[in-house]
Amino acid sequence: MGRVENKVAFITGAARGQGRGHALRLAAEGADIIALDMCKQLPSARYDLATSEDLVETRKAVEASGRRVIALEADVRDEQQLAEAFRAGVAEIGPVDIVIANAGVALFAVDQPHEAWQDTIDINLTGVFNTLETVVPSMIERGAGGAIVMTSSTAGLRGILGPSRGSLAYVASKHGLVGLMRSYANNLAAHSIRVNTVHPTGVETPMIVTPSIDAFLDASPELVAHVTNALPVGLVSVDDVTNAVLYLVSEDGRYVTGTTLTVDAGFANKN
Amino acid sequence: MTGRVEGKVAFITGAARGQGRAHAVRLASEGADIIAVDLCDSIDSVPYALASEADLGETVRQVEGLGRKIIASQTDVRDHSALDAAVSYGVEAFGRLDIAVANAGILSAASTEDLPEQSWQDMIDVNLTGVYHAARAAIPHIRAGGVGGSIVLTSSALGIRAMPNMAHYVAAKSGVIGLMRVLALELAADKIRVNTVNPSIADTLMVQNEAVHKLFVPHIDSPTREQAAEVFATLNPMPTPWVDAEDVSNAVLFLVSDEARFVTGLEFKIDAGFCLA
């Protein structure tokens, strides 16, 4: 018996990285998956975003674990696309118990693209709001409770990453998620729908392990000289974040709501 | 199936009943052996019956019933050298220590102006200094293993939020968070992680007793559990009067397992949204 047996999880940013990790692990623990990703490049991104092929790979990997899955290309900035994906997902897989609002971008780069501010806020903050507004009414109406996890960051707790437009946007968007989480947690508690954030330090994913981020950090040595994890580790793995997400969305966490769960190797306590 | 803490050894204070027993049983069910201590005696300033020797015996029975080993002793967390000795004895028998859960705690209540000096002192001695003693006793043994480990300090939602008539309790539980933050920094290089659990009202005898029921339902002479539940429920945004000890155990299990190998310095709320309200 899996820890989320026969639950349905709606996951954004599921084509690769943390989103794919969550999809595969939840499936391994008995959940069926509605997997969304934009699968498009963003002009302000200085790294390759996920592709349609990535999303297909997530779908195939979930299928291989024996659970049901639908993979849908949808942009969290577009309410219409989200609504259509939600409708199609529920029709194919069933009503949603779990939401993992995970889609996000990191647009801090040496050349400071001007659109980095707006694109980051639109995807990392408004995209999460759009995701919840799309799914939550059905969870309330169904009356079966549920669990929502938003992917924040240590940058949602500390003013790190320096003065670039993309850095400020990233920090602001991830801090904004904490306020959004606390409000939804309050508003949805009476419905036994729990809402929490996870706050990873750097995670070994294609969003972070990429030449443009390396160049950005190389050009900003003050950001990395003293601002380090407490535990002797640089990047944590996707699995580490997934373990926290799994705890939060399983019955183990049935009274956990409104919490900022750090998976940060002690970063926030140290800095 | 391999347990989530298979082959590890856990030291737990306040293990005779309530949350401590639940942690012992949960960790044992996931493959850990247990070093359990409890005072098993009364404290004059505490207005309800503390755990007994028989309670500690019941914890032993339940852990052994799961096929795991347990060494239990009547030890006072206020007595640093006795606690050191209890841990050392257990580690000698089991050969290692991976986990410490500093859980022993008491509850009493009075307005700050009316609080008897002894109530303040007992609270700080057990709920704060006792937690410090437990961590101190465990650290050298965990470090000696060379593979890191995990320490959980039992704080409270009242370590994060305040409530009238609880100055000594809130001070002690807030202090536990400060202690955790320092230990998390000091022990990180040795891969020893330190976190608190912060439950709101839990369904244990520390709360389910006449003294605490009367505090929350002052207009009734002998409030029932059901009458107290109605008041407790108003404290939680989620529709529940309390969390179960096992809900706290599930958080402890996550924190002490390798699933949380990079989680340290965290206040882990199991509070049905109490701190949001």
- pLDDT, tens only, B222-272: 999 999 999 999 999 999 999 999 999 999 999 999 999 999 999 999 999
Q: Which residues pair with B30 in a beta bridge?
A: none
- Whether B188 sits inside 8 A of A270 (CB atoms) is yes
Q: Which residues pair with A7 in a beta bridge?
A: none
Chain segment A156-194, per-residue pLDDT in tens: 999 999 999 999 999 999 999 999 999 999 999 999 999
Chain segment A25-59, per-residue pLDDT in tens: 999 999 999 999 999 999 999 999 999 999 999 99
Q: Is A244 on the interface with B (CB under 8 A)?
A: yes
Residue of A nearest to B240 (CA): A255
pLDDT given for residue A223 in this prediction: 86
Chain segment B210-226, per-residue pLDDT in tens: 999 999 999 999 999 99
- Work out the percent of chain A whose per-residue pLDDT is above 70: 100
Q: Is A269 on the interface with B (CB under 8 A)?
A: yes
To the query of whether residue A170 is one of the catalytic residues in this protein, the response is yes
Give residues 145 to 204 of A whose Cβ lies within 8 Å of B. 182, 185-186, 189-190, 192, 194, 201
The mean per-residue pLDDT over the stretch A82-102 comes to 98
- Whether B188 sits inside 8 A of A230 (CB atoms) is yes
Report pTM.
Answer: 0.95
pLDDT given for residue A79 in this prediction: 98
How far is A16 from B90, CA to CA, in rounded Å?
46
pLDDT given for residue A112 in this prediction: 87
pLDDT given for residue A226 in this prediction: 77
A33 Cβ partners below 8 Å, 6+ apart?
Answer: A8, A9, A11, A14, A23, A26, A27, A62, A67, A68, A69, A70, A93
Distance from CA of B66 to the nearest CA of A (A): 20
Detail the DSSP E strand segments found in chain B.
9-13, 33-38, 70-74, 99-102, 149-154, 192-199, 267-270
Chain segment A71-90, per-residue pLDDT in tens: 999 999 999 999 999 999 99
pLDDT given for residue A1 in this prediction: 86
- Whether A201 sits inside 8 A of B262 (CB atoms) is yes
How far is A77 from A96, CA to CA, in rounded Å?
20
Pair B196, B268: CB distance under 8 Å: yes
Q: What are the C-alpha distances in Å from B258 to residues A203, A240, A263, B255, B263?
A: 17, 9, 12, 8, 10
Calculate the dihedral angle through the C-alpha atoms of A90, A96, A101, A103, rounding to the nearest 10 degrees. -30
Residue B130: which of B153, B110, B97 has the closest Cα? B153
- Whether B188 sits inside 8 A of A256 (CB atoms) is no
- pLDDT of residue B180 exceeding 80, the answer is yes
What value does the mean pLDDT of chain B take? Answer: 97
Residue A263 is nearest to which of B181, B263, B269, comparing CB atoms? B263
For chains A and B, CB pairs below 8 A equal: 118
Angle, CA A56 vertex, CA A53 and CA A58 arms, to 5°? 115
Place of tokens 């940013």: A13
A93 Cβ partners below 8 Å, 6+ apart?
Answer: A8, A32, A33, A34, A68, A69, A70
Pair B34, B60: CB distance under 8 Å: no
Residue of B nearest to A181 (CA): B276
- Work out the percent of chain A whose per-residue pLDDT is above 90: 96
Residue of B nearest to A187 (CA): B237
Distance from CA of A261 to the nearest CA of B (A): 7
Work out whether the CA dihedral B111, B113, B118, B121 comes out positive or negative.
positive
- Whether A186 sits inside 8 A of B273 (CB atoms) is yes
- pLDDT of residue A227 exceeding 90, the answer is no
pLDDT given for residue A193 in this prediction: 98
Distance from CA of B243 to the nearest CA of A (A): 7
- Whether B276 sits inside 8 A of A186 (CB atoms) is yes
The mean per-residue pLDDT over the stretch B171-177 comes to 98
The mean per-residue pLDDT over the stretch A195-210 comes to 96
The token pair that represents B271 in the structure block: 């509070």
Predicted ipTM of the assembly? 0.92
pLDDT given for residue B78 in this prediction: 98
Contacts of B181 in chain A (CB under 8 A): 269
Work out whether the CA dihedral A249, A250, A255, A261 comes out positive or negative.
negative
Question: What is the three-state SS of B49-105?
Answer: CCCCHHHHHHHHHHHHHCCCCEEEEECCCCCHHHHHHHHHHHHHHHCCCCEEEECCC
- Whether B237 sits inside 8 A of A186 (CB atoms) is yes
What value does the mean pLDDT of chain A take? Answer: 97
- Work out the percent of chain B whose per-residue pLDDT is above 90: 99
Residue of A nearest to B26 (CA): A252
How far is A98 from A11, CA to CA, in rounded Å?
8
Contacts of B277 in chain A (CB under 8 A): 186
pLDDT given for residue A100 in this prediction: 98
pLDDT given for residue A224 in this prediction: 83
Going by pLDDT thresholds of 50, 70 and 90, the confidence category of residue A222 is confident
Residue B238 is nearest to which of A230, A255, A261, comparing CB atoms? A255
